[in-house]
Chains A and B, each alone.
Chain A
Amino acid sequence: QQPVQSPQAVILREGEDAVINCSSSKALYSVHWYRQKHGEAPVFLMILLKGGEQKGHEKISASFNEKKQQSSLYLTASQLSYSGTYFCGTESSLYQAGTALIFGKGTTLSVSS
Chain B
Amino acid sequence: NAGVTQTPKFRILKIGQSMTLQCTQDMNHNYMYWYRQDPGMGLKLIYYSVGAGITDKGEVPNGYNVSRSTTEDFPLRLELAAPSQTSVYFCASSYGQGYNQPQHFGDGTRLSIL
Contact = CB atoms under 8 A, between A and B. Distances in A.
A101 B99 contact: yes
A106 interface: yes
Nearest to B40: A105
A41 B42 CA distance: 12
A44 B40 CA distance: 19
Interface string A76-94: 0000000000010101001
A18 interface: no
The B interface is mostly helix, strand or loop, or mixed, namely loop
A95 B45 CA distance: 10
Contacts of A95: 45, 48, 56, 58, 98
B66 to A, nearest CB: 13
Contacts of A47: 100-102
Contacts of B105: 41-43
Nearest to A106: B42
A41 B108 CA distance: 7
Interface in A41-59: 41-44, 47, 49, 55
Contacts of B58: 94-95, 100
B49 to A, nearest CB: 9
Contact of A100 (B40, B98, B107): B98
B42 A2 contact: yes
B100 A41 contact: no
